[in-house]
Amino acid sequence: MKTLNTKTLKLFALIGLSLAGGLAQAAEVQVAVAANFAEPMKVIAAKFEQATGDKVAVSLGSTGKFYAQIKNGAPYDVMLSADAETPAKLVREGYAVPGSQFTYSIGKLVLWSPKPRYVDDGGAVLKKGDFRHLAVANPKLAPYGEAAMETLAKLDVLSQIKPKLVQGENIAQTYQFVASGNADLGFVALSQVYEDGKIMSGSAWIVPAALYSPIRQDAVLLAKGKGNPAAAALLDFLKGPQARAVIRDYGYAL
For residue range 47-87, what is the model confidence (pLDDT) as tens digits?
A: 999 999 999 999 999 898 999 999 999 999 999 999 999 99
Q: What is the structure's pLDDT at 99?
A: 97
For residue range 217-229, what is the model confidence (pLDDT) as tens digits?
A: 999 999 999 999 9
pTM of the model: 0.79
Question: Which CATH architecture does the domain made up of 27-106+215-249 adopt?
Answer: 3-Layer(aba) Sandwich (3.40)
Model confidence at 188, in pLDDT bands (50, 70, 90)? very high
173: Cβ contacts below 8 Å, ≥ 6 apart: 35, 137
For residue range 94-123, what is the model confidence (pLDDT) as tens digits?
A: 999 999 999 999 999 999 999 999 999 899
CA–CA separation, 182 and 169 (whole Å): 15
Model confidence at 196, in pLDDT bands (50, 70, 90)? confident
Please give the CATH superfamily to which domain 108-211 belongs: Periplasmic binding protein-like II (3.40.190.10)
Among residues 44, 54, 34, which one has the least CA distance to residue 238? 44
Q: What is the structure's pLDDT at 197?
A: 80
Q: How many CB atoms lie within 10 A of CB 128?
A: 9
Fold match flag (27-106+215-249 vs 108-211):
yes
Q: Where are the domains of the chain?
A: 27-106+215-249, 108-211
Q: What is the structure's pLDDT at 195?
A: 79
Across residues 155-172, what is the average pLDDT? 95
Q: What is the structure's pLDDT at 21?
A: 44
